[in-house]
Structure 1
Amino acid sequence: MKDSIKNIILKTENLSIGYTSKNKVSTIAKNINIELKQGELIGLVGANGIGKSTLLKTLSSIQLPLSGSIYLNKKPLKEYASVELAKNMSLVLTEQLMSKNLSVFEIIALGRQPYTNWIGNLSDEDISIINQTLEHTNLSDLKLRKCFELSDGQLQKVMIARALAQDTDLIILDEPTTHLDMYHKAYLLKLLQKLAKQTNKTILFSSHEIDLAIQLCDTMIVMTESKVTSDTPCNLISKNTFETLFPKDLITFDKKTGRFKVN
């Protein structure tokens, strides 16, 4: 029991997420109780507009929770200063902007900003970590290429490498497979699975690739209109959780194959 508690990187208690505007509160989801454990790949899935991005933004302190608590490494998330948070959590968001005139090495080096001095000079340790990250993500041959020369899949790998070079316990990615074809979606999620095992980091990502997530994830978080459920893919299948994701008039979930099918 103690080892299990020790390995929990992020935990929520009765978390409610949503928006507040002009004295009006819009609750998207409530009573969210999840645990993200060290070295696991966790997939966040749900229908379009269900609130996956809102949940990720709340977990990453971009957006304030309506109520409840979030703990990162047993410390309340709200107590983290920005630099300290950047040493514990890294983000790859869909709306993230960057200069494509930078090289692959330079983009990945940005992940070391929380550790560099005020001038931003890279130490020998920083350079070593960047080179190790290039090897982990199979980007060594591309390190001098400008980012505008890369494909969407290669560019997404670079952003994951930047987060990995930040050397945090938790990496959060919002829909990392967007705009990729089927092969590169599978390749990227397989890479995330490998990185979680090799680096012992906790990787949480949102995705519409539910079938792939079921095959590759250690844990999944399923968002529906009524609740947020977290468990292993096998247990979620046994509990018929995936059958509640979409209306059954067009697609249904096949428990035997672990896949959705068109009726």
Structure 2
Amino acid sequence: MNIQQQHSVLKTEKLSIGYKSKKEAIVVSNDINIELRKGELIGLVGANGIGKSTLLRTLSAIQKPLSGSIECHGKLIHKHSPIELAKIMSLVLTEQIISKNLSVFELVALGRQPYTNWIGTLSENDYTAVERALEQTHLTDLKSRRCFELSDGQLQKVMIARALTQDTDLIILDEPTTHLDMYHKAYILKLLQQLAKDTQKTILFSSHEIDLAIQLCDKMIVMTKDTVVSDAPCKLIEQGVFETLFPKDLIGFDNKTGRFKVKK
């Protein structure tokens, strides 16, 4: 096995995503060929309604693909059992937490479910994993706090800590900066960048913060109505990919600064 294969965490070939009804298949996007490698921070961007959440749900096996293949560690994703997937891939979705009455420690500890016994008893290794995740996300001082007492930014860090505690090679986050102000958007994405570097986990997130993603990501996946392109941000800028994201009547992309600007 060569180095490229060893470091590949997830790969798709000619993937088509969408929805099936009794009469027809509704294609959201097709011919998606991407590869996520160890230790990368990858930002998934595109206009509203383009299919980012559909792609994430498909990659995480919540939703079946229409056609094509998804491989995790060289094995087709549907060949993994649910418990195997839970040890490979952790998810941070946009749904509200069921019980905010849990303490920070208790919620983060839920990430150990794939490893605990049937009554959920934590071992010494489980406690170590929880404490390590709390430290990595700067939450140690808040571990006894109830989740309903936290700000949106703090709560998002708790969800990231739970994913870290699950100890998977791949972490997928659906719009982790929603409802946060500009400072905390940058804080969360900078934290994800640092975690990818320090833990060598692969972190994939969807976001509308394209300017921040361009600055912080190792790789980006850009979805448009015609195609899905994946590459390093600087190469995507050179290819003019970001200029195709939105109608040009209101905003334009400046290749020199790597930022979007409102047209006057």
Superposed pair shares fold, TM > 0.5: yes
Using the TM superposition, give the Cα deviation of residue 98 of structure 1 relative to its aligned residue in structure 2, in angstroms. 2.5
Structure-2 separation of matches of 1:210 and 1:5: 29
Q: What is the TM-score normalised by the length of structure 2?
A: 0.99
2:197 is matched with which residue?
197
Structure-1 separation of matches of 2:214 and 2:168: 25
- Aligned residue for 2:83, secondary structure, equals helix
Structure-2 separation of matches of 1:168 and 1:108: 14
Kindly indicate whether residue 152 of structure 2 is the aligned counterpart of residue 152 of structure 1: yes
What is the alpha-carbon root mean square deviation over aligned residues? 0.8
Kindly indicate whether residue 135 of structure 2 is the aligned counterpart of residue 135 of structure 1: yes
Using the TM superposition, give the Cα deviation of residue 24 of structure 1 relative to its aligned residue in structure 2, in angstroms. 1.3
- Aligned residue for 1:249, secondary structure, equals coil
Structure-2 separation of matches of 1:83 and 1:50: 31
Structure-2 separation of matches of 1:88 and 1:254: 38
- The residue identity in structure 2 corresponding to 1:178 is T
1:19 is matched with which residue?
19
2:86 is matched with which residue?
86
Change (3 A) 1:96 1:36: farther
Using the TM superposition, give the Cα deviation of residue 80 of structure 1 relative to its aligned residue in structure 2, in angstroms. 1.1
Structure 2 gaps, min length 5: none
Structure-1 separation of matches of 2:231 and 2:220: 6
Deviations 1:59-82 (A, max 9, x none): 000000000000001110001111
Kindly indicate whether residue 244 of structure 2 is the aligned counterpart of residue 221 of structure 1: no
1:210 is matched with which residue?
210
1:70 is matched with which residue?
70
> Following superposition of structure 1 onto structure 2, how do residues 25-174 of structure 1 map, counting pairs within 5 Å?
25-174=25-174
- The residue identity in structure 1 corresponding to 2:234 is C
> Following superposition of structure 1 onto structure 2, how do residues 221-260 of structure 1 map, counting pairs within 5 Å?
221-260=221-260
Deviations 1:217-261 (A, max 9, x none): 000000000000000000000000000000111000000000000
- Aligned residue for 2:108, secondary structure, equals helix
Structure-1 separation of matches of 2:65 and 2:100: 33
Using the TM superposition, give the Cα deviation of residue 101 of structure 1 relative to its aligned residue in structure 2, in angstroms. 0.3
Structure 1 gaps, min length 5: none
Using the TM superposition, give the Cα deviation of residue 119 of structure 1 relative to its aligned residue in structure 2, in angstroms. 1.2
Deviations 1:158-184 (A, max 9, x none): 000000100000000000000000000
Using the TM superposition, give the Cα deviation of residue 97 of structure 1 relative to its aligned residue in structure 2, in angstroms. 3.0
- Aligned residue for 2:248, secondary structure, equals coil
Kindly indicate whether residue 179 of structure 2 is the aligned counterpart of residue 179 of structure 1: yes
Structure-2 separation of matches of 1:61 and 1:98: 22
Using the TM superposition, give the Cα deviation of residue 4 of structure 1 relative to its aligned residue in structure 2, in angstroms. 1.9
Structure-2 separation of matches of 1:135 and 1:117: 25
Count residues in correspondence: 263
Deviations 1:34-67 (A, max 9, x none): 0000000000000000000000000000000000
Q: What is the TM-score normalised by the length of structure 1?
A: 0.99
Share of identical aligned residues, percent?
71
Change (3 A) 1:196 1:27: same
Using the TM superposition, give the Cα deviation of residue 96 of structure 1 relative to its aligned residue in structure 2, in angstroms. 4.7
